[in-house]
A and B are shown apart, each in its own frame.
Chain A
């Protein structure tokens, strides 16, 4: 269920020589930075405590999504170009997408992972009977895992939940807006 963009970013072997030279230098710089952080006492102690958790990746993914969604909600609510209804609906849309995606990640991620693994296993069995060398089989298995994960896992967070949540957010946003308007009107009438 990992949707971190870093997973997608891999250096291309087809790049030209100069670009590879720059990339190598940058990668070396990044590696040294990681090395500095990774050898600090704080990091080592934290990894001693957290290193055994089998749900650490899920927690990190949730933390990353929480920061992004929190900022989207804040930006939507403080957007001067939007009307009250638009602000509330957009913020609700973000909040519901984050909430439902996170709940699904914690609730069914292992089942989805299992389903994905099953499909990958079946594809691996089929491919190994086609007389390819081991390198090609491994490459095909990696590719199939990418494609199956995309359909089974990523599509839920990136497509199904955001689309399903939109009409719900529209309805809730309109109701909340009407409620707030009525409350304001009642206050104004009292004054």
Chain B
């Protein structure tokens, strides 16, 4: 439904509906141009920051805003939110460190296929789809290899995030459970009829 709506909004003639006018108005606006300019000039920062914002902030916030039937559902939501934050942070770290030289190396290869890929160069010149697919295979190769450490690191970090963000509630719940036992002790002490004997801790001679 959403896709149909987007298609309709983009394919309808300009003056057909007020909604379409507003949509085109947004694309024509200076605000969108400013976003496009920032994204065009700083594509790496824009992609990494927007991914981090989406996975690390908006997604966990939306998950935590969902209603929970009981304490277990609330806890499961916390786990899902912590996983989203950890995944966003690890993705950002990998993108801004390991992937940079790999991406730069791939740009070099695709910019000079005659030097780096002599066996495929001629075929790629004749077939642009082949060139596109060679680039994609080379992009996803390291991505698939890095998926293993990425998943393991995300799994570790999600425990840390969960403990940091939702650990207080757990501690508070434990403290509440322990509170009645602690409160019972002073009452017993007050009721004792042998305060001197109770306080005596010496050994027998």
A→B interface (CB under 8 Å): 4-12, 23-24, 26-35, 37-39, 44, 46-48, 50-54, 56-57, 60-61, 63-64, 67-68, 71-72, 75-76, 79, 81-82, 85-86, 89-90, 93, 108, 111-112, 114-115, 118-119, 122-123, 126-127, 139-144, 146-147, 150, 152, 154-155, 158-159, 162-163, 166-167, 169-170, 173-174
Contacts and interface: CB of A to CB of B under 8 A. Distances in A.
Given A9-B102, A11-B44, A123-B32, 17 more contacts: A5-B143, A31-B109, A34-B116, A47-B120, A50-B133, A64-B140, A86-B76, A90-B76, A90-B79, A111-B7, A112-B3, A122-B27, A126-B24, A127-B33, A143-B37, A147-B39, A169-B80
Nearest to B100: A9
B191 to A, nearest CB: 40
11 contacts: A7-B103, A26-B104, A51-B134, A57-B136, A60-B139, A123-B32, A144-B35, A144-B40, A158-B54, A162-B63, A162-B84
A5 B54 contact: no
Given A9-B44, A71-B147, A163-B59, A29 B152 contact: no
B96 A53 contact: no
Nearest to B106: A34
B49 to A, nearest CB: 9
A10 B39 CA distance: 13
B40 A11 contact: no
A162 B115 CA distance: 43
B63 A166 contact: yes
A60 B142 CA distance: 11
A115 B104 contact: no
B54 A159 contact: yes
B47 interface: yes
Given A147-B39, A158-B59, A86 B75 contact: yes
A79 B154 CA distance: 13
A81 to B, nearest CB: 7
Interface string B12-54: 0000000000001001100011011111110110111011001
B188 interface: no
A110 to B, nearest CB: 10
B125 interface: no
Interface residues of B, number: 87
Interface of B: 3, 6-7, 10-11, 24, 27-28, 32-33, 35-41, 43-44, 46-48, 50-51, 54-55, 58-59, 62-63, 66-69, 72-73, 75-77, 79-80, 83-84, 91, 94-96, 99-109, 115-120, 123, 127, 129-130, 133-134, 136-144, 147-148, 150-152, 154-155, 159
Nearest to A48: B123
A8 B63 CA distance: 25
B2 to A, nearest CB: 9
Contacts of A163: 59, 62-63, 66
Given A52-B129, A147-B39, A31 B108 contact: yes
Contact of A6 (B50, B66, B99, B118): B99
A47 B137 contact: yes
Contacts of B77: 166, 170
A170 to B, nearest CB: 5
A139 to B, nearest CB: 4
